Amino acid sequence: MRSQVAFAALLLCAAVVGCSPTPPTQWEEEVRLSDGRVLRVRRIQEWEVRRPLGDPKHFLPLATRLSIQEVPVKEWSGYAESPLILEWDEQAQEFLLLVVPATCERYAQVGKPRPPYIEYRYRDSAWKRSSFSRSLVGRKPNLLVYPTWGPELSFVTLSDKEARNAQIYTFAEFEIRGDRGLGPC
């Protein structure tokens, strides 16, 4: 009897919360750097599906991996972080990756930074967190901001990305700003 009650409670929880893992989404995309170079980046996005009772499915980004195909740089991986900008810093001679926390929990874990970005730099053969570069204020993302769960395009060209991003948001909304926190968090 006890195991039946536990099983029923588990089923009820799954029905109410609706959490389940899903297969990762993988794609490659072209990324234009500020110096005009175009690199090819491979991305893998893992998701968790949440479906509260009576609501449509929500796909929460969990783990993200990003690798630059043309250069010998190790893969970057993050948890509940959405990549926005990949750039080459000519002065420092290193890549930088700007991400935004994908959840309020992650935002809290990184100290609720204002502006709400986390910057990583590729130094000494590893991606390391660094302070936010104010020079990025005013820039627009050069990575696919809102990948979708499911069959993503296997290769996203610059024009594909522009069209896909335009369907989801206005670019003005995603200009890097230096004066705010993360939405409702």
- Give me the residue spans of the domains in the chain: 9-174
Buried-state track 76-104, b at ≥16 Cβ within 10 A, e below 16: bebebbbbbbbbbeeeeebbbbbbbbbbe
Q: What pLDDT is attached to residue 162?
A: 86
Q: What angle do CA 64, 65, 68 make, to 5 degrees?
A: 145
pLDDT digits (tens, 9 = 90+) for 69-81: 989 999 999 999 9
pLDDT digits (tens, 9 = 90+) for 101-160: 988 999 999 999 999 999 999 999 999 999 999 999 988 899 998 787 766 668 999 999
pLDDT digits (tens, 9 = 90+) for 12-71: 344 444 455 578 889 999 999 999 999 999 999 998 887 777 777 777 778 999 999 989
